[in-house]
Protein backbone atom coordinates (compact mmCIF):
# COMPACT_ATOMS: atom_id res chain seq x y z
CA UNK A 1 0.00 0.00 0.00
CA UNK A 2 1.14 3.53 -0.78
CA UNK A 3 0.31 6.42 1.60
CA UNK A 4 -2.33 4.18 3.26
CA UNK A 5 -4.09 3.84 -0.07
CA UNK A 6 -4.91 0.37 -1.38
CA UNK A 7 -3.89 -0.03 -5.00
CA UNK A 8 -6.78 -1.80 -6.71
CA UNK A 9 -6.73 -3.20 -10.21
CA UNK A 10 -9.91 -4.03 -12.12
CA UNK A 11 -11.13 -4.48 -15.67
CA UNK A 12 -12.30 -1.45 -17.62
CA UNK A 13 -15.96 -2.36 -18.10
CA UNK A 14 -18.64 -0.33 -16.35
CA UNK A 15 -19.77 -3.46 -14.48
CA UNK A 16 -16.26 -4.06 -13.18
CA UNK A 17 -15.93 -0.46 -11.99
CA UNK A 18 -19.28 -0.69 -10.22
CA UNK A 19 -18.13 -3.86 -8.49
CA UNK A 20 -15.09 -1.98 -7.14
CA UNK A 21 -17.42 0.72 -5.80
CA UNK A 22 -19.65 -1.94 -4.24
CA UNK A 23 -16.73 -3.53 -2.40
CA UNK A 24 -15.37 -0.25 -1.06
CA UNK A 25 -18.81 1.00 -0.08
CA UNK A 26 -18.52 -1.60 2.68
CA UNK A 27 -15.16 -0.28 3.83
CA UNK A 28 -16.08 3.08 5.29
CA UNK A 29 -13.49 5.78 4.71
CA UNK A 30 -10.74 3.48 3.49
CA UNK A 31 -8.85 5.10 0.60
CA UNK A 32 -7.93 3.33 -2.57
CA UNK A 33 -6.24 4.05 -5.89
CA UNK A 34 -7.91 2.45 -8.92
CA UNK A 35 -5.87 0.98 -11.76
CA UNK A 36 -7.96 0.11 -14.82
CA UNK A 37 -6.67 -2.58 -17.17
CA UNK A 38 -8.03 -4.54 -20.13
CA UNK A 39 -7.54 -8.28 -19.85
CA UNK A 40 -6.73 -10.57 -22.74
CA UNK A 41 -10.40 -11.57 -22.82
CA UNK A 42 -11.47 -7.93 -23.07
CA UNK A 43 -9.14 -7.28 -26.00
CA UNK A 44 -10.01 -10.41 -27.95
CA UNK A 45 -13.77 -10.37 -28.33
CA UNK A 46 -13.51 -12.46 -31.47
CA UNK A 47 -12.82 -15.49 -29.26
CA UNK A 48 -16.00 -17.40 -28.38
CA UNK A 49 -16.40 -18.20 -24.69
CA UNK A 50 -17.87 -21.54 -25.75
CA UNK A 51 -14.46 -22.55 -27.06
CA UNK A 52 -13.34 -25.47 -24.90
CA UNK A 53 -9.69 -24.37 -25.18
CA UNK A 54 -10.09 -20.96 -23.55
CA UNK A 55 -7.62 -20.68 -20.65
CA UNK A 56 -9.09 -20.54 -17.14
CA UNK A 57 -7.54 -17.09 -16.56
CA UNK A 58 -8.97 -15.57 -19.76
CA UNK A 59 -10.28 -12.51 -17.90
CA UNK A 60 -7.95 -12.42 -14.90
CA UNK A 61 -4.36 -13.14 -15.93
CA UNK A 62 -3.06 -9.61 -16.48
CA UNK A 63 -4.72 -8.33 -13.31
CA UNK A 64 -3.28 -11.13 -11.19
CA UNK A 65 0.20 -10.56 -12.64
CA UNK A 66 -0.07 -6.92 -11.58
CA UNK A 67 -0.81 -8.03 -8.01
CA UNK A 68 2.06 -10.49 -8.01
CA UNK A 69 4.61 -7.92 -9.24
CA UNK A 70 3.41 -5.27 -6.78
CA UNK A 71 1.79 -2.93 -9.30
CA UNK A 72 -1.45 -3.46 -7.37
CA UNK A 73 -2.26 -4.64 -3.86
CA UNK A 74 -5.49 -6.42 -4.80
CA UNK A 75 -7.48 -7.36 -7.88
CA UNK A 76 -11.26 -7.32 -7.91
CA UNK A 77 -12.84 -9.93 -10.16
CA UNK A 78 -16.25 -11.30 -10.95
CA UNK A 79 -15.93 -14.48 -8.92
CA UNK A 80 -17.12 -16.78 -11.70
CA UNK A 81 -14.11 -15.61 -13.76
CA UNK A 82 -11.64 -16.94 -11.17
CA UNK A 83 -9.16 -19.51 -12.47
CA UNK A 84 -8.36 -22.68 -10.57
CA UNK A 85 -5.90 -23.16 -9.17
CA UNK A 86 -5.42 -19.56 -8.12
CA UNK A 87 -1.96 -18.44 -9.36
CA UNK A 88 0.86 -19.41 -7.01
CA UNK A 89 1.56 -16.57 -4.61
CA UNK A 90 -2.03 -15.29 -4.57
CA UNK A 91 -5.07 -16.11 -2.47
CA UNK A 92 -8.69 -15.05 -2.27
CA UNK A 93 -9.08 -12.54 0.54
CA UNK A 94 -12.88 -12.54 0.42
CA UNK A 95 -15.95 -13.38 -1.61
CA UNK A 96 -18.91 -11.04 -1.24
CA UNK A 97 -22.44 -12.35 -0.99
CA UNK A 98 -24.55 -12.51 -4.13
CA UNK A 99 -27.83 -10.61 -3.85
CA UNK A 100 -29.25 -12.50 -6.84
CA UNK A 101 -27.82 -15.62 -8.47
CA UNK A 102 -30.36 -16.02 -11.27
CA UNK A 103 -30.11 -15.40 -15.00
CA UNK A 104 -32.65 -13.17 -16.74
CA UNK A 105 -34.00 -12.92 -20.24
CA UNK A 106 -33.61 -9.58 -22.01
CA UNK A 107 -35.64 -9.48 -25.23
CA UNK A 108 -37.23 -7.38 -27.92
CA UNK A 109 -40.49 -5.95 -26.54
CA UNK A 110 -39.81 -7.76 -23.24
CA UNK A 111 -41.12 -11.05 -24.57
CA UNK A 112 -40.85 -13.97 -22.14
CA UNK A 113 -39.18 -17.24 -23.08
CA UNK A 114 -42.55 -18.83 -23.75
CA UNK A 115 -43.59 -15.91 -25.98
CA UNK A 116 -40.55 -16.04 -28.26
CA UNK A 117 -41.48 -17.46 -31.68
CA UNK A 118 -40.05 -20.76 -32.87
CA UNK A 119 -36.64 -20.23 -34.46
CA UNK A 120 -36.00 -16.99 -32.53
CA UNK A 121 -32.33 -16.22 -32.05
CA UNK A 122 -31.26 -16.10 -28.43
CA UNK A 123 -27.72 -14.99 -27.57
CA UNK A 124 -25.44 -16.35 -24.86
CA UNK A 125 -21.72 -16.83 -24.32
CA UNK A 126 -22.15 -19.85 -22.03
CA UNK A 127 -22.30 -23.49 -23.08
CA UNK A 128 -24.15 -24.30 -19.84
CA UNK A 129 -26.78 -21.63 -20.54
CA UNK A 130 -27.17 -22.99 -24.05
CA UNK A 131 -27.74 -26.49 -22.67
CA UNK A 132 -30.30 -25.28 -20.14
CA UNK A 133 -32.17 -23.22 -22.74
CA UNK A 134 -32.49 -26.04 -25.21
CA UNK A 135 -33.97 -28.28 -22.53
CA UNK A 136 -36.85 -25.80 -22.25
CA UNK A 137 -37.10 -24.54 -25.83
CA UNK A 138 -35.38 -26.87 -28.22
CA UNK A 139 -36.88 -24.93 -31.15
CA UNK A 140 -34.82 -21.78 -30.48
CA UNK A 141 -31.63 -20.90 -32.33
CA UNK A 142 -28.69 -20.27 -30.02
CA UNK A 143 -26.12 -17.69 -31.20
CA UNK A 144 -22.90 -16.64 -29.52
CA UNK A 145 -22.27 -13.12 -28.31
CA UNK A 146 -19.32 -11.21 -26.86
CA UNK A 147 -18.76 -7.74 -25.41
CA UNK A 148 -19.84 -5.83 -22.33
CA UNK A 149 -23.44 -6.14 -21.21
CA UNK A 150 -24.18 -2.69 -22.62
CA UNK A 151 -22.69 -3.74 -25.96
CA UNK A 152 -24.74 -6.93 -25.99
CA UNK A 153 -27.96 -5.10 -25.26
CA UNK A 154 -27.10 -2.62 -28.06
CA UNK A 155 -26.79 -5.59 -30.43
CA UNK A 156 -30.19 -6.80 -29.26
CA UNK A 157 -31.73 -3.39 -29.88
CA UNK A 158 -30.25 -3.45 -33.39
CA UNK A 159 -32.07 -6.78 -33.92
CA UNK A 160 -28.91 -8.87 -34.27
CA UNK A 161 -30.93 -11.42 -32.29
CA UNK A 162 -34.30 -11.52 -30.55
CA UNK A 163 -33.24 -12.24 -26.97
CA UNK A 164 -30.23 -12.30 -24.68
CA UNK A 165 -29.36 -14.01 -21.40
CA UNK A 166 -27.70 -11.87 -18.72
CA UNK A 167 -26.89 -12.41 -15.03
CA UNK A 168 -29.68 -10.70 -13.09
CA UNK A 169 -27.30 -9.17 -10.55
CA UNK A 170 -25.32 -7.52 -13.37
CA UNK A 171 -28.47 -5.87 -14.71
CA UNK A 172 -29.28 -4.58 -11.24
CA UNK A 173 -25.76 -3.22 -10.78
CA UNK A 174 -25.96 -1.41 -14.11
CA UNK A 175 -29.42 0.06 -13.35
CA UNK A 176 -30.86 -1.98 -16.20
CA UNK A 177 -33.46 -3.87 -14.18
CA UNK A 178 -36.20 -2.49 -16.44
CA UNK A 179 -34.79 -4.57 -19.30
CA UNK A 180 -35.58 -7.86 -17.51
CA UNK A 181 -38.33 -9.72 -19.33
CA UNK A 182 -38.29 -12.53 -16.76
CA UNK A 183 -35.88 -14.48 -14.52
CA UNK A 184 -35.03 -17.84 -16.06
CA UNK A 185 -35.85 -21.12 -14.28
CA UNK A 186 -32.50 -22.87 -14.42
CA UNK A 187 -29.34 -23.20 -12.37
CA UNK A 188 -26.43 -20.82 -12.79
CA UNK A 189 -22.72 -20.85 -12.03
CA UNK A 190 -22.34 -21.27 -8.24
CA UNK A 191 -20.10 -18.18 -8.07
CA UNK A 192 -22.44 -15.99 -10.10
CA UNK A 193 -23.06 -12.65 -8.41
CA UNK A 194 -20.16 -12.97 -5.99
CA UNK A 195 -17.26 -10.50 -6.18
CA UNK A 196 -13.78 -11.85 -5.44
CA UNK A 197 -10.95 -9.87 -3.81
CA UNK A 198 -7.58 -11.44 -4.65
CA UNK A 199 -4.26 -10.46 -3.06
CA UNK A 200 -0.77 -11.72 -2.34
CA UNK A 201 -0.23 -14.50 0.15
CA UNK A 202 1.42 -13.46 3.39
CA UNK A 203 -0.13 -9.99 3.59
CA UNK A 204 -2.27 -10.87 6.60
CA UNK A 205 -2.95 -7.27 7.59
CA UNK A 206 -4.48 -6.44 4.21
CA UNK A 207 -6.36 -9.73 4.09
CA UNK A 208 -7.88 -9.05 7.52
CA UNK A 209 -9.30 -5.74 6.29
CA UNK A 210 -11.57 -7.72 3.99
CA UNK A 211 -12.08 -10.90 6.02
CA UNK A 212 -13.49 -8.99 8.98
CA UNK A 213 -15.97 -6.86 7.04
CA UNK A 214 -19.72 -7.58 6.99
CA UNK A 215 -19.73 -8.60 3.33
CA UNK A 216 -21.69 -11.72 3.85
CA UNK A 217 -25.33 -10.84 4.37
CA UNK A 218 -28.03 -12.72 2.52
CA UNK A 219 -31.74 -13.17 3.33
CA UNK A 220 -31.21 -11.58 6.72
CA UNK A 221 -28.60 -14.03 7.98
CA UNK A 222 -24.84 -14.27 7.84
CA UNK A 223 -23.27 -16.15 4.94
CA UNK A 224 -19.69 -16.94 3.95
CA UNK A 225 -18.26 -18.21 0.67
CA UNK A 226 -14.87 -19.81 0.00
CA UNK A 227 -13.33 -21.09 -3.23
CA UNK A 228 -10.77 -23.70 -2.23
CA UNK A 229 -8.91 -26.92 -2.67
CA UNK A 230 -10.95 -29.78 -1.21
CA UNK A 231 -8.12 -30.67 1.19
CA UNK A 232 -8.45 -27.23 2.82
CA UNK A 233 -11.95 -27.85 4.22
CA UNK A 234 -10.81 -28.81 7.77
CA UNK A 235 -8.64 -25.69 7.96
CA UNK A 236 -11.50 -23.40 6.90
CA UNK A 237 -13.89 -25.07 9.34
CA UNK A 238 -11.41 -24.64 12.20
CA UNK A 239 -11.01 -20.94 11.38
CA UNK A 240 -14.77 -20.40 11.24
CA UNK A 241 -15.39 -22.16 14.55
CA UNK A 242 -12.56 -20.16 16.15
CA UNK A 243 -14.26 -16.98 14.90
CA UNK A 244 -17.44 -17.94 16.75
CA UNK A 245 -19.59 -19.43 14.01
CA UNK A 246 -22.27 -21.81 15.28
CA UNK A 247 -21.39 -25.46 14.65
CA UNK A 248 -25.03 -26.04 13.68
CA UNK A 249 -24.72 -23.61 10.74
CA UNK A 250 -25.67 -25.24 7.41
CA UNK A 251 -22.98 -25.67 4.75
CA UNK A 252 -23.22 -26.45 1.04
CA UNK A 253 -20.19 -27.90 -0.77
CA UNK A 254 -20.25 -27.69 -4.57
CA UNK A 255 -17.88 -29.75 -6.72
CA UNK A 256 -17.20 -29.56 -10.46
CA UNK A 257 -18.49 -26.01 -10.72
CA UNK A 258 -20.70 -25.22 -13.68
CA UNK A 259 -20.18 -28.63 -15.25
CA UNK A 260 -22.96 -30.99 -16.29
CA UNK A 261 -21.61 -33.28 -13.54
CA UNK A 262 -21.84 -30.56 -10.84
CA UNK A 263 -22.46 -32.08 -7.40
CA UNK A 264 -23.79 -30.48 -4.21
CA UNK A 265 -23.42 -31.80 -0.67
CA UNK A 266 -25.01 -30.51 2.55
CA UNK A 267 -23.60 -30.58 6.09
CA UNK A 268 -23.58 -28.83 9.41
CA UNK A 269 -20.36 -26.92 10.06
CA UNK A 270 -19.39 -29.17 12.99
CA UNK A 271 -19.62 -32.25 10.77
CA UNK A 272 -16.81 -31.01 8.53
CA UNK A 273 -13.97 -30.83 11.06
CA UNK A 274 -12.24 -33.78 9.41
CA UNK A 275 -13.78 -33.86 5.91
CA UNK A 276 -11.81 -33.63 2.66
CA UNK A 277 -12.65 -33.81 -1.02
CA UNK A 278 -10.21 -35.22 -3.55
CA UNK A 279 -10.70 -33.03 -6.63
CA UNK A 280 -8.64 -31.54 -9.44
CA UNK A 281 -11.12 -28.63 -9.55
CA UNK A 282 -12.07 -26.04 -6.93
CA UNK A 283 -14.73 -26.65 -4.32
CA UNK A 284 -17.16 -23.88 -3.45
CA UNK A 285 -17.85 -23.75 0.30
CA UNK A 286 -21.01 -21.82 1.20
CA UNK A 287 -21.98 -21.27 4.83
CA UNK A 288 -25.26 -20.01 6.28
CA UNK A 289 -27.66 -17.74 4.44
CA UNK A 290 -30.67 -19.52 2.93
CA UNK A 291 -29.00 -22.95 2.74
CA UNK A 292 -31.35 -25.75 3.71
CA UNK A 293 -30.07 -28.86 5.43
CA UNK A 294 -31.74 -32.01 3.98
CA UNK A 295 -30.36 -34.47 6.54
CA UNK A 296 -33.08 -37.04 5.90
CA UNK A 297 -32.05 -37.21 2.26
CA UNK A 298 -28.35 -37.82 2.87
CA UNK A 299 -26.87 -41.24 2.15
CA UNK A 300 -23.64 -42.16 3.86
CA UNK A 301 -21.31 -45.08 3.22
CA UNK A 302 -19.77 -46.44 6.44
CA UNK A 303 -16.51 -48.33 5.92
CA UNK A 304 -15.73 -49.18 9.56
CA UNK A 305 -17.04 -52.01 11.71
CA UNK A 306 -19.64 -49.88 13.54
CA UNK A 307 -22.52 -47.96 11.97
CA UNK A 308 -23.50 -45.83 14.99
CA UNK A 309 -21.45 -42.84 13.84
CA UNK A 310 -23.03 -42.88 10.40
CA UNK A 311 -26.57 -43.19 11.73
CA UNK A 312 -26.18 -39.69 13.18
CA UNK A 313 -25.36 -38.28 9.75
CA UNK A 314 -27.87 -39.83 7.34
CA UNK A 315 -29.17 -43.08 5.84
CA UNK A 316 -26.46 -45.68 6.21
CA UNK A 317 -25.08 -48.25 3.81
CA UNK A 318 -22.58 -50.44 5.68
CA UNK A 319 -19.60 -51.92 3.88
CA UNK A 320 -17.04 -52.98 6.52
CA UNK A 321 -13.60 -52.98 4.94
CA UNK A 322 -11.74 -54.34 7.97
CA UNK A 323 -12.20 -57.17 10.43
CA UNK A 324 -10.50 -58.03 13.68
CA UNK A 325 -9.23 -61.17 15.37
CA UNK A 326 -7.72 -61.83 18.78
CA UNK A 327 -4.01 -62.22 19.39
CA UNK A 328 -3.26 -65.15 21.67
CA UNK A 329 -1.50 -63.75 24.74
CA UNK A 330 -0.69 -65.27 28.10
CA UNK A 331 -2.17 -62.86 30.66
CA UNK A 332 0.57 -63.84 33.10
CA UNK A 333 2.88 -61.62 31.08
CA UNK A 334 1.17 -58.75 32.86
CA UNK A 335 2.16 -58.88 36.52
CA UNK A 336 -1.30 -57.90 37.67
CA UNK A 337 -3.98 -55.72 36.29
CA UNK A 338 -4.36 -53.90 39.58
CA UNK A 339 -0.81 -52.58 39.26
CA UNK A 340 -1.89 -50.05 36.62
CA UNK A 341 -3.02 -46.53 37.38
CA UNK A 342 -4.73 -46.05 34.01
CA UNK A 343 -6.04 -48.30 31.25
CA UNK A 344 -6.65 -46.48 27.96
CA UNK A 345 -8.97 -47.98 25.35
CA UNK A 346 -8.74 -46.63 21.82
CA UNK A 347 -11.58 -48.71 20.32
CA UNK A 348 -14.50 -50.93 21.22
CA UNK A 349 -12.48 -53.86 19.82
CA UNK A 350 -9.86 -53.21 22.48
CA UNK A 351 -12.59 -53.51 25.12
CA UNK A 352 -13.94 -56.71 23.59
CA UNK A 353 -10.61 -58.53 23.34
CA UNK A 354 -9.45 -57.21 26.70
CA UNK A 355 -12.48 -58.85 28.30
CA UNK A 356 -11.88 -62.09 26.36
CA UNK A 357 -8.20 -62.10 27.32
CA UNK A 358 -8.78 -61.79 31.05
CA UNK A 359 -12.15 -63.56 31.07
CA UNK A 360 -13.40 -64.42 34.54
CA UNK A 361 -10.25 -62.97 36.08
CA UNK A 362 -11.49 -59.49 35.18
CA UNK A 363 -13.11 -58.62 38.48
CA UNK A 364 -14.41 -55.09 38.85
CA UNK A 365 -13.80 -55.24 42.56
CA UNK A 366 -10.08 -55.70 41.92
CA UNK A 367 -9.80 -52.74 39.57
CA UNK A 368 -11.76 -50.09 41.40
CA UNK A 369 -8.63 -47.98 41.88
CA UNK A 370 -7.82 -48.00 38.14
CA UNK A 371 -8.87 -45.02 36.06
CA UNK A 372 -10.24 -45.89 32.64
CA UNK A 373 -10.00 -43.59 29.62
CA UNK A 374 -12.05 -44.03 26.43
CA UNK A 375 -11.50 -42.71 22.91
CA UNK A 376 -15.20 -42.10 22.18
CA UNK A 377 -18.81 -42.94 22.92
CA UNK A 378 -18.79 -46.33 21.16
CA UNK A 379 -15.80 -47.42 23.22
CA UNK A 380 -17.43 -46.02 26.34
CA UNK A 381 -20.56 -48.06 25.62
CA UNK A 382 -18.43 -51.22 25.52
CA UNK A 383 -16.93 -50.36 28.90
CA UNK A 384 -20.35 -49.59 30.34
CA UNK A 385 -21.46 -53.11 29.41
CA UNK A 386 -18.66 -54.38 31.67
CA UNK A 387 -19.87 -52.16 34.48
CA UNK A 388 -17.03 -49.69 33.98
CA UNK A 389 -17.46 -45.93 33.67
CA UNK A 390 -14.41 -44.15 32.18
CA UNK A 391 -13.06 -41.12 33.98
CA UNK A 392 -12.67 -39.41 30.61
CA UNK A 393 -14.09 -39.87 27.11
CA UNK A 394 -12.34 -38.10 24.23
CA UNK A 395 -14.86 -36.02 22.31
CA UNK A 396 -12.55 -35.98 19.29
CA UNK A 397 -12.64 -39.80 19.17
CA UNK A 398 -8.93 -39.81 18.39
CA UNK A 399 -5.53 -40.29 20.00
CA UNK A 400 -5.05 -36.52 20.02
CA UNK A 401 -7.95 -36.11 22.45
CA UNK A 402 -6.40 -38.64 24.85
CA UNK A 403 -3.01 -36.97 24.67
CA UNK A 404 -4.54 -33.56 25.33
CA UNK A 405 -6.35 -34.93 28.40
CA UNK A 406 -3.14 -36.28 29.95
CA UNK A 407 -1.23 -33.08 29.18
CA UNK A 408 -3.92 -30.70 30.42
CA UNK A 409 -4.22 -32.62 33.69
CA UNK A 410 -0.43 -33.00 34.06
CA UNK A 411 -0.70 -36.76 34.48
CA UNK A 412 2.90 -37.94 34.88
CA UNK A 413 4.74 -40.74 36.65
CA UNK A 414 1.84 -43.16 36.19
CA UNK A 415 1.67 -46.74 34.95
CA UNK A 416 -0.57 -46.96 31.88
CA UNK A 417 -1.84 -49.98 29.97
CA UNK A 418 -2.80 -49.66 26.28
CA UNK A 419 -4.67 -52.78 25.11
CA UNK A 420 -5.14 -52.14 21.40
CA UNK A 421 -4.61 -53.14 17.77
CA UNK A 422 -1.27 -54.49 16.62
CA UNK A 423 -1.19 -51.74 13.97
CA UNK A 424 -2.21 -48.95 16.31
CA UNK A 425 -0.43 -45.65 15.73
CA UNK A 426 2.67 -45.17 17.86
CA UNK A 427 1.98 -41.50 18.62
CA UNK A 428 -0.14 -42.31 21.69
CA UNK A 429 2.36 -44.47 23.63
CA UNK A 430 5.24 -42.23 22.52
CA UNK A 431 3.58 -39.07 23.82
CA UNK A 432 2.52 -40.66 27.09
CA UNK A 433 6.05 -41.95 27.66
CA UNK A 434 7.54 -38.58 26.76
CA UNK A 435 5.50 -37.07 29.60
CA UNK A 436 7.25 -39.36 32.08
CA UNK A 437 4.75 -42.22 32.32
CA UNK A 438 5.44 -45.95 32.24
CA UNK A 439 3.47 -47.33 29.30
CA UNK A 440 2.74 -50.96 28.54
CA UNK A 441 1.67 -51.06 24.88
CA UNK A 442 -0.19 -54.37 24.59
CA UNK A 443 -1.37 -55.52 21.13
CA UNK A 444 -4.34 -57.80 21.81
CA UNK A 445 -5.97 -57.98 18.38
CA UNK A 446 -5.09 -57.79 14.70
CA UNK A 447 -6.83 -55.51 12.22
CA UNK A 448 -7.18 -57.21 8.83
CA UNK A 449 -8.56 -56.26 5.44
CA UNK A 450 -12.00 -57.75 4.88
CA UNK A 451 -11.25 -59.53 1.62
CA UNK A 452 -14.78 -60.96 1.61
CA UNK A 453 -16.04 -57.42 1.03
CA UNK A 454 -18.27 -57.12 -2.05
CA UNK A 455 -16.84 -54.27 -4.11
CA UNK A 456 -19.19 -51.48 -5.15
CA UNK A 457 -19.39 -50.33 -8.76
CA UNK A 458 -19.39 -46.60 -7.95
CA UNK A 459 -20.20 -44.13 -5.19
CA UNK A 460 -22.34 -41.65 -7.13
CA UNK A 461 -25.41 -42.22 -4.95
CA UNK A 462 -23.62 -41.33 -1.72
CA UNK A 463 -23.25 -37.93 -0.08
CA UNK A 464 -20.33 -38.95 2.10
CA UNK A 465 -17.91 -41.81 2.84
CA UNK A 466 -16.97 -42.33 6.50
CA UNK A 467 -13.60 -43.64 7.67
CA UNK A 468 -13.16 -44.58 11.33
CA UNK A 469 -9.44 -45.35 11.29
CA UNK A 470 -6.27 -45.19 9.21
CA UNK A 471 -6.55 -48.95 8.69
CA UNK A 472 -9.93 -48.39 7.02
CA UNK A 473 -8.34 -45.91 4.61
CA UNK A 474 -5.57 -48.40 3.83
CA UNK A 475 -8.12 -51.15 3.27
CA UNK A 476 -10.13 -48.95 0.90
CA UNK A 477 -7.03 -48.22 -1.18
CA UNK A 478 -6.09 -51.91 -1.23
CA UNK A 479 -9.55 -53.00 -2.37
CA UNK A 480 -10.36 -50.15 -4.75
CA UNK A 481 -6.93 -48.92 -5.84
CA UNK A 482 -7.49 -45.28 -4.89
CA UNK A 483 -9.78 -42.96 -2.96
CA UNK A 484 -12.77 -41.62 -4.94
CA UNK A 485 -12.89 -38.08 -6.31
CA UNK A 486 -15.60 -35.43 -6.00
CA UNK A 487 -17.19 -36.86 -2.86
CA UNK A 488 -16.67 -35.84 0.79
CA UNK A 489 -14.39 -38.21 2.72
CA UNK A 490 -14.98 -37.82 6.45
CA UNK A 491 -12.74 -39.12 9.25
CA UNK A 492 -13.16 -39.48 13.00
CA UNK A 493 -9.97 -37.63 13.87
CA UNK A 494 -6.76 -36.01 12.72
CA UNK A 495 -4.78 -39.23 12.44
CA UNK A 496 -7.25 -40.71 9.95
CA UNK A 497 -7.49 -37.35 8.19
CA UNK A 498 -3.70 -37.34 7.78
CA UNK A 499 -3.84 -40.87 6.37
CA UNK A 500 -6.30 -39.70 3.70
CA UNK A 501 -4.20 -36.61 2.85
CA UNK A 502 -1.11 -38.82 2.51
CA UNK A 503 -3.09 -41.20 0.27
CA UNK A 504 -4.32 -38.57 -2.21
pLDDT band at 17 (very low <50, low <70, confident <90, very high): very high
In the structure, what pLDDT confidence band is assigned to residue 336 with cuts at 50, 70 and 90? confident
Would you say 66 and 37 are in contact if contact means Cβ atoms under 8 Å apart?
yes
Tell me the pLDDT band of 312, cut-offs 50, 70 and 90: confident
Helices (H), ranges, 107-257: 127-136, 149-157, 168-173, 204-211, 233-242
Q: Is residue 400 helix, strand or coil?
A: helix
Name the average pLDDT for the chain: 87
DSSP state of 102: -
Residue 118: its H or E element: none
For 220-232, the pLDDT digits (tens) are 444 567 888 899 9
Give the pLDDT score at 220.
40
CA–CA separation, 369 and 309 (whole Å): 31
Domains by residue range for the chain, with CATH: 1-96+194-215 (3.40.190.10), 103-183 (3.40.190.10), 218-293 (3.30.950.10), 295-321+450-487 (no CATH), 324-449 (3.40.50.10090)
Beta bridge partners of 417: 343, 440
Specify the pLDDT at position 207: 86
Please spell the DSSP secondary structure of 293-349, one letter per residue. --GGG-EEEE-SS--HHHHTTSEEEE---EEEEE----GGGSS-GGG-SEEEE-SHH
pLDDT at 112 over 80: yes
Residues 141, 130: Cα–Cα separation, whole Å: 10
**Tens digits of residue pLDDT in 351-386:** 999 888 776 555 554 567 889 999 888 899 999 988
Q: Write the pLDDT tens digit of every residue in 410-436.
A: 999 999 999 999 988 788 999 999 999
Distance, in Å, from the CA atom of 290 to the CA atom of 84, rounded to the nearest integer, reads 26
Q: CA-to-CA distance for 225 and 193, rounded, in angstroms?
A: 12
**Is 194's pLDDT higher than 90?**
no
CA 383 to centroid of chain Cα atoms:
35
Which pLDDT score is estimated for 218?
A: 41
With a CB cutoff of 8 Å and minimum separation 6, the contacts of 126 are: 49, 50, 165
Answer yes or no: are the C-beta atoms of 199 and 73 closer than 8 Å: yes
**398 vs 437: which has the higher pLDDT:** 437
Q: In whole angstroms, how far apart are CA 498 and each of 231, 271, 310?
A: 10, 17, 20
Q: Which of the residue ranges 43-52, 114-123, 236-245 would you say has the lowest mean pLDDT?
A: 43-52
Please calculate the CA angle 103-107-109 and round it to the nearest 5 degrees.
140
Length of the chain: 504
Would you state the pLDDT for residue 208?
A: 82
Give Cα separations from 228 to 30, 131, 185, 310, 353 (angstroms).
28, 27, 28, 26, 43
Please give the pLDDT value at position 162: 96
pTM of the model as a whole: 0.72
Q: How many whole angstroms separate alpha carbon 346 and alpha carbon 71?
A: 55
Amino acid sequence: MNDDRIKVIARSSQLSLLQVEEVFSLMGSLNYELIVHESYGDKHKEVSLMDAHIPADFFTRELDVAVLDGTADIAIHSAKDLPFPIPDGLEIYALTAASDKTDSLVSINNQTLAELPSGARIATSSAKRKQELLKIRGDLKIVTVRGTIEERIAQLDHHDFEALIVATCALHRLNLSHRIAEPLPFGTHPLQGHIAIVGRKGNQGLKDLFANLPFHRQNGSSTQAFYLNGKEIPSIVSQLLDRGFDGESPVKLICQLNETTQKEYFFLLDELKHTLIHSSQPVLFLLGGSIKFPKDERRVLVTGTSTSWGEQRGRVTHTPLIRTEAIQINPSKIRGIDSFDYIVFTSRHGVKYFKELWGADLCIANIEKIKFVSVGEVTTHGLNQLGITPIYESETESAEGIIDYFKQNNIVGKKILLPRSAIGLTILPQELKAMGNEVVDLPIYNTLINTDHLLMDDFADFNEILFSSPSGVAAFRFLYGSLPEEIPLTCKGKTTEKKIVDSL
